[in-house]
Amino acid sequence: MENEVKKDLVEIRTETFADAIMELRGALLISQVQLAKELKICAGTVNRWEKGHCEPSFLLQSRLANFCKEHGIELHWKNKSEVEK
């Protein structure tokens, strides 16, 4: 995992989506509940993401990307097929 700052932009790169969400929350100093409220989802969904039980739908990925953009963060992770190779 590496975080790079580029012109007021924080770039978070991780191996898994679960790690990406934990890094995102750490960078913003927010709880699972706070992130869930921002994304208009239940906190249990964020918890399942962080445990690696599931990944977001395309719609939620889009919502997450917009949230990150609003906070000056670029979030990158490998999809499950890339990690399993």
Which domain CATH number covers 77? Answer: 1.10.260.40
Tell me what pLDDT residue 6 has.
47
> What pTM, to 2 d.p., does this model score?
0.82
Q: At what angle do helices 32-39 and 58-70 cross, to 10 degrees?
A: 110
Residue-number span of the structural domain to which 19 is assigned: 2-84
Tell me what pLDDT residue 8 has.
74
Q: Does residue 16 carry a pLDDT above 60?
A: yes
Answer with the residue of higher pLDDT: 78 or 16: 16
Looking only at the bridges linking them, the beta strands covering 9-14 and 73-77 are: parallel
Tell me what pLDDT residue 81 has.
56
Number of domain units in the chain = 1
